Amino acid sequence: MEVILQQFANLSILIYIVSTMISMGLSFFPKQFIEPLQDKKLILKSLAANFILVPLVTYIILQLIPLQPGLAIGLVLMAAGAGSPFMLKLVQFIKADMAFAVGLMLILSTVTLIYLPLALSFLLPDVSANSVSIAVSLLILIFLPLLGGTTLKWRYNKLAKIIKPTPLYSGAALSGS
C-alpha cells in the first residue's frame, strides 16, 4: 500500500507541474515573459539570492548542524535547484507579477542545468548529478508544457481563454488575459 501511495504522490506532483506550466502558457503571450525581465538589476539580485546566498546559508547550516546524510542531500538539492514551478503558486497567491515570475523561473531553471552539478560536487562530493537527466526533466516538465500553452494562446487566444483554469480563490485573476 505504501508503494502505491508513493507512486500516486509522484504522479500527482508531475501532473501539478505540467498543468501549472500549461496554465501559465495559456495566460501569457511570449513577449509578456520577456518584458518584465528587462530589469537587469532585479534579475542579478534574483540570481545572486538563488545561486549564492541560499547555497551559502545551506553550507553554513550543514557545518553547524549535523544532519543525517539523506536530510543533508535533500537540503542541498533544495538549495541548489532554483526555479521551482511551485514558486508560481506562491506568486499567484500574493498577487505579484506572474509574467516576471514565469520568466525568472525559466532563467533560474536554465542556470540550474549548469549550476546544480557544480554545487553538488562542492557541497556533496560523494554525490554526482547527471546534467542530461536534469535537462530532459526540465524540458519535458517545464519548457514544453509552457511552450505548448503559450503557442495555443498565441494561435488560438479565444480557445485559450476558455480552457485556462480559473484560480480557486477570490481576486486572483492572472494578468495578461
What digits encode the pLDDT tens for the residues 124-161?
777 777 778 888 888 898 889 989 999 999 898 888 88
SS3 39: coil
Judged against a pLDDT cut of 90, whether residue 48 lies above it is answered with yes
CA–CA–CA angle 129, 132, 134 (5° rounding): 60
pLDDT value of position 131 = 74
Confidence of residue 172 (pLDDT cuts 50, 70, 90): very low
Distance in angstroms (rounded) separating the CA atoms of residues 154 and 142:
18
Cell of 119: 554545487
Percent of the chain residues topping a pLDDT of 90: 21
CA distances from 108 to 4, 51, 80 (A): 33, 9, 10
Given a cut of 50, whether residue 174 has pLDDT beyond it is: no
pLDDT band at 171 (very low <50, low <70, confident <90, very high): very low
CATH of domain 2-163: 1.20.1530.20
Please identify which residue in the block is written with the cell numbers 557544480: 118
* pLDDT computed for residue 177 by the predictor: 44
Query: Could you tell me if 143 and 16 are in contact, meaning their C-beta atoms sit under 8 angstroms apart?
Result: no
pLDDT of residue 144: 93
pTM higher than the cut 0.85:
no
